[in-house]
């Protein structure tokens, strides 16, 4: 198990070195995504209104924000369960050129196969305290606010040493949750 401090945009080489159980910290531009954005893009056939080339990390998150003195202020931030977005996961990895998804839990087989093909990893927070990261995150912009609402809009953020996150799906198709489950079942006998 190793610790990595990665800078966005991530390269194929950045994620190929990661294995399940590794710890990562992220610096650079990222964006948030929940179900309504994916439905809007993939099911309703709208166009993503920004390029992901410079921000190839998606965070499954609906941040709590307020507007203060004309600027967005982040009040609470915690990634949500990624498996909820399995329906769109493979398309998001493929079409948006993702190298990393940050969220709790895991992804399903279809998304894992696309992650292996396109060299993308999934990481989960090592803790579940939503306000520990507030000093590491700056809101740059928000897209589709009027169309999707505060929680479901896609927030552009600049993060500095955001983490720690644990690699739970690597780009070789290994899954920490599944290997842990198999180990548990083997030891239960």
Q: Rounded CA gap, 122 and 107, in Å?
A: 8
Q: What is the pLDDT of residues 155-169, one digit of tens each?
A: 999 999 999 999 999
**Greater confidence, 160 or 178?**
160
Q: Using 50, 70 and 90 to split pLDDT, how confident is the model at 129? A: confident
CB 29 within 8 A of CB 140: yes
pLDDT in tens, 22-73: 999 999 999 999 999 999 999 999 999 999 999 999 999 999 999 999 999 9
Under a CB-based contact definition with an 8 Å cutoff, are residues 153 and 144 in contact? yes
Confidence at residue 28, expressed as pLDDT on a 0 to 100 scale: 98
Burial (0-12, 13-18, 19+ Cβ within 10 Å), 86: middle
CA pseudo-torsion sign 129, 132, 136, 141: positive
Neighbours of 8 (CB within 10 A): 19
Residue 121: predicted pLDDT: 98
| 3 Rama sector, left if φ>0, alpha if ψ -120 to 50, beta otherwise | beta
């Amino acid at each position: 198990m190793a610790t990595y401090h990665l800078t966005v945009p991530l390269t194929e080489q950045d994620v190929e070195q990661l294995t399940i159980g590794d710890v990562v910290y992220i610096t650079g531009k990222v964006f948030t995504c929940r179900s309504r954005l994916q439905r809007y893009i993939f099911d309703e056939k709208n166009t993503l209104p920004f390029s992901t080339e410079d921000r190839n990390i998606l965070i499954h998150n609906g941040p709590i924000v307020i507007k203060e003195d004309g600027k967005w202020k982040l009040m609470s931030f915690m990634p949500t369960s990624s498996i909820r977005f399995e329906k769109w996961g493979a398309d998001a990895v493929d079409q948006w050129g993702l190298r990393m998804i940050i969220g709790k839990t895991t992804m399903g087989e279809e998304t894992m196969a696309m992650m292996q093909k396109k060299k993308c990893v999934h990481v989960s927070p090592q803790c579940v305290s939503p306000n520990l990261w507030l000093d590491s995150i700056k809101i740059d912009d928000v897209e589709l606010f009027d169309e999707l609402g505060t929680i479901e809009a896609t927030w552009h953020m600049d993060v500095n040493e955001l983490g720690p996150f644990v690699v739970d799906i690597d780009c070789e198709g290994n899954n920490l949750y599944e290997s842990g489950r198999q180990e548990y079942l083997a030891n239960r006998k």
